[in-house]
Each structure stands twice: as C-alpha cells, then as structure tokens.
Structure 1
Amino acid sequence: MTGATDGAEVVRDRADRGFLAVDSGGSGLRVAVGTVGRGVLARRESREPVRTGDRGIDAAHLIEQLVPMVRASTVEAGVAQPAAAAVGAAGLATLGDALRAELPGVLARAFDIRRLALAADAVTAYVGALGSRPGVVLAAGTGLIALGTDLTRWRRADGWGHLLGDCGSGAWIGRAGLEAALRAYDGRPGGSAGLLARAEELFGPMQGLPGKLYPRPDRPAVLASFAPRVAACADGDPVAADILRAAARHMAETAAAVCPTAGEPQVALTGGLSKMGDPLLVPLEEELSKRLPRARRVPADGDPLLGSVRIATDLATGGLTLPSDEAMLSVLTRTG
C-alpha cells in the first residue's frame, strides 16, 4: 500500500512541476508559463524583436524584456519556481555566444531555474511541428530553412539569408516577382505586365523602387511583402506561375537534403508560406513526392512556442530525448 501511495506522490509531483517556455523570433518575444499537468497557464508577448549587434544576439536587450515578462507570468500562473526552462531564439546557432554566456546566470538568479535548454528557432519550429518524431520541418516564411533529424543528430540546410540563400522563401519569391515586373517595365524578355501593375500598386512608380528598397534594414521583409501578389497573379500569369513552381523545387530540394534516409519520415511545412494556397502548395506537393517518395506529409502540430513548451515540459520530467548539439540544442544543469 505504501508503494502505491509513493507512486501516486511521484506522479503528482511530476504533474506539479512548473516550466518556462520562450520564443524569440523576428516578430518579437513570447513567454509561456505553466505546469506539466495543467499545461500553459499564463502568456506574455512583446512585439519588439530582440536586436542583434557586434556580439550577435543582444543578450541585454533580450534579458531586459524577458525578466519582467517571466515575473508577471509566474505570478499569474502561480508557479513560484519553474523546474525547467526552454528558450528558442532566432540566430542562436550562429549569433548566440553572448546569450549562452549571460542568460543561464540571469535565469538562475532571478527564478532559481536549474535546468535550461537553449535552442535555435529552427529546433523549436521542428518540435512544435513534429514533436520528437523523425522527419524534416521546412520553415518557410520571409526566410527559409529545413531541419531534419533521425533522433540521433540534427541536419540543417539553407537558412543563409536573402543574399546568399533562403531559396524559395517569401523574400526569394518577392524578389523574383519584382525582377519580372522590372523586366516588363524595361521591355526585356521574361517580364510580366500583371506583376508590374501589382508592384506599382504596392511600391509606386518602378523608377523609385531601388531608392525605397536598398536603404531599408528590413529588405527581406519588404521583398517578402510582394510574395502574396505573385501568388495572386499565378492563375492567369505564366511568369508568376513559373516563379512559384521554381520556389517549390527549391523548397523540396532543401527538405530532401536533410530528410532521414531510413523508415517513413514525416515532413511538415511551417511559416507564412504555408498560407500561400494552391499556387505554391500544389507544385510543392508534386516536388516533395518526386524527391521524397517514402516521406509522409503531415500538418504541423503547432508553432515554435509550442516547441519550446514541449522541450521545457520534457526537461522538467526528465523525458527529453532530442539529440543534443552545441549550436542547435544544448541543455545546461545547475547544481548547488
């Protein structure tokens, strides 16, 4: 009888363990606090994206936003001391040295957090979409990156930014659409009168486009803002349709580069391009079927914040089985 009672206490103890989940991305900072048994109990959001500077991700800027949000969320949720935390951050893989050095100590001092997972945003996007299942997640929005795992290691492809890569992304589609518009404006082959008209609706006269685009620090987002207009033209415009077919080829090639070779891996699409509709999604399905005949396309379970929640709850209960990787996913445990 005592053993049964002890077992119930263990189950209850695990269910009561609190967690902190954080998603820092291009649109801002999001925080969720809850318990393993009851799920998310409080959320906070900041629309101010964390800055990057000479040292990469600006750890001080993230911390000054994060600490008050976590403090308010823990009070609301009634979770005085989260047992574990997971922080997913855009740029962590290549720009995260300062954040890795400073954030663990801050969370330990402010909230006595002893177990912390630091994850690249591609990892939290993966876990939000597929959980701990083998496969590949194609995160396609303004930029584009594919992350795959066979649960022994992570593999990534692209994510090199709009100047060197992100092939098939929103910025890539927008740039190709604007190039076709400028070809029509000049009278060169390969132009599209329909895309020219839509570009002038959005940006004004074409001769002023370089001055509006080149000085902008958010050029990828400006380019990506034209992608929906390319999709809107695709039904009756062969140039626009060809751009989306080329984007679909790039996306499928990137997914195939990291997809596990054994078994029946799952493939999920996340990000803004998942809402582009049939002009992009139909050719993408065709390209994925050609390049990944064994893979099974599945809808994404959720977003990167859900990925952080899943990692944090697994860490709180000792059930985290995802592969560790110094750049992509690392777990820090504080003792004493």
Structure 2
Amino acid sequence: MTSGGADGGWVLGVDSGGSGLRVALAPAAGPWHTRTMASREPVRTGPGGIDAAHLLEQLLPMARALLEGAGAPGAVAGTPGLPDAPARTAGPSGLVAVAIGAAGMATLGDELRAVVPGALEQAFGVRAVALAADAVTAYAGAVGQRPGAVVAAGTGMIALGTDLTRWRRADGWGHLLGDCGGGAWIGRAGLEAAMRAHDGRSGGSAALLARLESVLGPAEQLPGLLYPRSDRPALLASFAPEVARCAADDPVAGNILAEAAGHIAASAAAVFPPASAGTCEVALTGGLFKMGDPLLVPLTAVLAEQLPHARPVPAEGDPLAGSLTVARALATDSLTLPKDPRLLRLVRPSSVSYPDR
C-alpha cells in the first residue's frame, strides 16, 4: 500500500447483494491499491426492510481488519450494541468516506439509511457516507461519472441512466412484475417451452425438455421443486444457460433470447439521456452477459436499431469498484452523479443529509 492512505485517509466501498457482502478499502487519493474481503452470507431482509444490524455485524469487523492490514491507526472506542465492533479510528489516516451499494436499497433501505451512517461515524469517525442502490454502484463501476446508461443483468434486470442532472430507471421490479430479459425471465421462458413440449402443446421445445430433465429431473416434478422454494428466481435463472446452449440449433430457444434482447434494449432506451446529450455511452454489466454470443449478438443488433447514437462500451468495473468510485468522489468533493433520496443518499457525520438535488 502506498502512502496515499496515510496522507489523505482511506475510503471503503461495500457491495451487498444476493451472493453476500463484499468490502474493499483504498486510499482516498492516488493509485488504486485496494484490499478486499468478502462474506458469502447475504444480508437479511426483515419487516423493516434490509436488516441494518445484520449488515453492520458483517461489515464492521471486515472494515477493521482491512484498516489494520493497511496500517491505519488504532481504535479508541467501541460501538454500543455491536459486540466486537471496530473502535473509532482517529486522525487523517482514518476512514474518511464509505459508500454502500445494496440490492433493494431503493425500496427496502429505510432502516439502513436511518442506522448505518451513525454507526459508521461512531465506529470510525467517518466524515461522509453514501447509501446507494446497487444499480447506482453498478453504473459507477461500469462508466464512472459520465452521462450514459447501464444495464445490470443477472438473475434480475435493471437499467439506469443519467444526464448527470437526474436518474432514469427502468425495470428492476422483480421476477413477478418485471426483470424482463433477465436470467429468471429467460429461464422461466425456457422451462415453459419445455413443459409445452412435454404436454404436446404448440410452441414447445424438445431440446429444452431434454435439458430440463437432464439438469432438474422429470418434468412432472418441476412444480413441486419450484413452487415451495424461497429462491425461485435463482432456480429459474439457473436454467438460462441451458437456453443459451440450445439457441444455435433450436428456434424456440433462439427466439427466447431474441425476445430477451428486445426487452433489455427497450429498458436501455427508456433510461438513455436525451438525444441532445450526444453520443453517450451504454454499458452492459452483470453475470447474464457471460452467456456470450447467443444473447449478445441479437442484443447488439437491437441496441444499434433502438439507440443509434449510443456508443456501446465494455463495463470498466463491477459494483464493488463502483462503490469505491463513489466513496473516493465523496471524500474529495468531486461527486457529480445526481443525488436522489432513494437511489443515492449522501450523509455527513452530523447525520444531516445533503439536499436531494
């Protein structure tokens, strides 16, 4: 680690999602020398939304370990109510800014917004905290602080765009109300086509039926396997790669991915900055796009048709890198991404929020 942290303090980026909690520490300025830790335990959601205590139980010990590993000063006080919590770090080499990107922040983040900034202030003397939807940190990781649009797709699918004056959001409403074109959507469509083939109905796919029975068992048992589970979207999404494997030789599978590409492009077009913004960037990020050409070829074609002025770019980084980007910008008063009471809330140590605009 360079002396950047010792001179200007440290920033912490956090990515909380369905696969667990990831934390990264970097100097507030200078080269991007990062240290990371991760937990495979997803943060719980309870009656009050995302469980702030559960997040802090995981985050605070990891933050302390990262700071100690970086040679930050020792602690002087603990956090009441949180056993073994890291103590407050004092001095210019302490933690100066934290950015947390969390799945569900926009609709389930009230408890996090109420509890986490004060806990981080008391534990570390943090000067500023950003609480963001994971789509915002995905945006910051993919294109930084430039105007444009990002589609983040894995099990679900959400698109976010900005002209740096306000955010535009499309989809991200979950597998029952939307997430159209995402992994659960593709998997469900593939399984439906398999069940149609099993019944002898039109629109079925014998190839997808064979894949269903190979990876999940007899078709008749699928309802009993799927419906009782609390992780139904993940199970549906697990079949999406099977749809991609069949797409080259099976017209039904190919049409499912073409329709998914159309949904994804429609969401990107809905959030893309106005034409007056010029040739802004559009980036794709998330595990869904690792399925490669079966999805990317039709998606590239429909994006060119619907967004002829967009400049497709590869994602520069993931949501964890995006949370560090936000934290660094917050620490240096250089954040240009628009603030929003639900999508990107900024808080000072006094626990007084920034204006929403």
Common fold: TM-score over 0.5: yes
Choose 73-82 or 191-200, whichever is displaced more. Answer: 73-82
**Partner residue of 1:71 out of 40, 54, 64:** 64
CA shift for structure 1 position 26: 1.1
Q: Distance in 1 between matches of 2:50 and 2:225?
A: 27
SS of corresponding position for 1:269 = strand
Q: Is the 8 A contact 2:5 2:26 kept in 1?
A: no
Q: Residues 40 and 31 of structure 1: is their aligned pair in 2 closer, same or farther, counting only changes over 3 Å?
A: farther
Q: Residues 130 and 260 of structure 1: is their aligned pair in 2 closer, same or farther, counting only changes over 3 Å?
A: same
Q: Distance in 2 between matches of 1:335 and 1:54?
A: 27
Q: Residues 254 and 293 of structure 1: is their aligned pair in 2 closer, same or farther, counting only changes over 3 Å?
A: same
Residue equivalent to 2:227: 214
Q: Distance in 1 between matches of 2:167 and 2:34?
A: 31
Residue equivalent to 1:50: 43
Q: Which amino acid aligns with 2:312?
A: R
Residue equivalent to 2:164: 151
**Partner residue of 1:273 out of 288, 294, 305:** 288
**Partner residue of 1:21 out of 10, 13, 16:** 13
CA shift for structure 1 position 335: 4.3
SS of corresponding position for 1:298 = strand
SS of corresponding position for 2:314 = coil
**Partner residue of 1:323 out of 318, 323, 338:** 338
Q: Is the 8 A contact 1:138 1:146 kept in 2?
A: yes
Residue equivalent to 1:116: 129
Residue equivalent to 1:246: 259
Map 1:28-107 to 2 at 5 A. Answer: 28-35=20-27, 36-80=29-73, 81-107=94-120
Is 2:285 the counterpart of 1:292? no
Residue equivalent to 2:355: none
Q: Distance in 2 between matches of 1:189 and 1:61?
A: 48
Structure 2: gaps of 5 or more residues: 74-93, 352-357
SS of corresponding position for 1:145 = strand
> C-alpha offsets along residues 75-105 of structure 1, whole Å, 9 cap, x if unaligned?
0112342111111111110000001111011
Q: Please give the TM-score of this superposition, normalised by the length of structure 2.
A: 0.89
Q: Which amino acid aligns with 1:53?
A: G
Residue equivalent to 1:8: none
Q: Which has the higher helix share?
A: 1
SS of corresponding position for 1:39 = coil
Q: Residues 12 and 57 of structure 1: is their aligned pair in 2 closer, same or farther, counting only changes over 3 Å?
A: closer
Is 2:314 the counterpart of 1:314? no
Q: Residues 174 and 300 of structure 1: is their aligned pair in 2 closer, same or farther, counting only changes over 3 Å?
A: same
Is 2:319 the counterpart of 1:304? yes
Q: Is the 8 A contact 2:185 2:236 kept in 1?
A: yes
Q: Distance in 1 between matches of 2:53 and 2:304?
A: 45
Q: Which amino acid aligns with 1:86?
A: A
Q: Distance in 2 between matches of 1:14 and 1:297?
A: 38
Q: Is the 8 A contact 2:261 2:298 kept in 1?
A: yes
> C-alpha offsets along residues 285-313 of structure 1, whole Å, 9 cap, x if unaligned?
01101110000000000100000111111
SS of corresponding position for 2:35 = strand
RMSD (CA atoms): 1.5
Q: Which amino acid aligns with 2:35?
A: A
CA shift for structure 1 position 184: 0.3
Q: Distance in 1 between matches of 2:5 and 2:126?
A: 17
Number of positions where the alignment pairs a residue of Structure 1 with one of Structure 2: 326
Q: Distance in 1 between matches of 2:248 and 2:140?
A: 35
CA shift for structure 1 position 141: 0.6
CA shift for structure 1 position 15: 6.0
Structure 1: gaps of 5 or more residues: 1-10
SS of corresponding position for 1:83 = strand
Q: Is the 8 A contact 1:153 1:323 kept in 2?
A: yes
Q: Is the 8 A contact 2:118 2:349 kept in 1?
A: no
Q: Distance in 1 between matches of 2:203 and 2:26?
A: 54
Q: Please give the TM-score of this superposition, normalised by the length of structure 1.
A: 0.94
> C-alpha offsets along residues 1-59 of structure 1, whole Å, 9 cap, x if unaligned?
xxxxxxxxxx9799633111111111110111121224244211000010111111011
Choose 313-322 or 192-201, whichever is displaced more. Answer: 313-322
